[in-house]
Structure 1
Amino acid sequence: MVKKNKALTYVLIVVVLLVWGVIIYRIVIAYSGGRDESYVPPPAPKEIFNDYAVPKDTARLLLNYRDPFGIVAKKDTAKPPARNRPNAGIARLNMAPSFNWDIIRYSGYIKNPGSKKLIAFMKVNGKEAMMSEGETVGQFKLIRNMKDSVLVKSGGKTKYIHIQPAI
């Protein structure tokens, strides 16, 4: 048989009542909007010192020393003498200026599911166009579309333009 200790039972009952009393007290305080003075808020975080500010540059460079490597010769600031031009009387040939191919860009392609043709995304003089083989935009004609590049003809000259990502 187990002998019951009455004193221990009474002490445990008092402890349980105290614990439940604290719990109920905190719940009542929280819902009633009252302030619990035992709560201490954590301290505010300290402001971080801005040590990355760039100080104003007050130094001046004196560039009156000689070149340590001797690579650059001293500049002669005097006016250069006039050159004698023996070919001054010869007329130049009338050559057509070279064509600027940089005004056309190839950005990519899509495949038309109905006709199975490739349609190229081109940018000509800053204007975007969708072209298939044989089409002409401005002075450019798309001859062949090969996914990674296109063959373009302009003014009797042809050139391959490779795909460039859109900027």
Structure 2
Amino acid sequence: MKNKKTIYLLGLLVFIVWGMIIYRIYVAVSDHPDPVIATTTKAKEPYDDYAIPKDTSRLQARYRDPFGLVPNKDTTKASPAKTIPRNISLNVPPGINWTAINYMGYIQNPGSKKIIAIMHINGKEVMMTEGENAEQVKLLRNLRDSIKISYHGQIKFIKPNR
């Protein structure tokens, strides 16, 4: 009796395992869309150029010179600030109209894996790869979620219009 119960139990387990395997194969092969699963995603941080912050720390070299050639020097005193003479005139170029450049998205060549950016520049649709120029705009870097361009000597990141 004990042996028959074990055989039936093992047969039921085999039936359940094979049922799960066949179900997963059916779901993978079928054309039904994946079930909607609500997930929370963390917002991406934009790719912007950040200036390097000014170093505010002071080197305090209070150890002795191993060769004895240079006397001890106090590095905690700040050097005097440089003054700019008042009679210098700065030529500031006029502002650039960045709204004339829109990043629409990208496409990828499946053969060469090259990414091509699609942009609107002054109302014209332009497709560019990294390093190309069009309408005085040079595409420096394509990061898929933004592009880095150079226009009239200035560099800026532009995100796609959504």
- Same-fold call, TM > 0.5? no
For normalisation by structure 2, the TM-score amounts to 0.43
Greater C-alpha Rg: 1
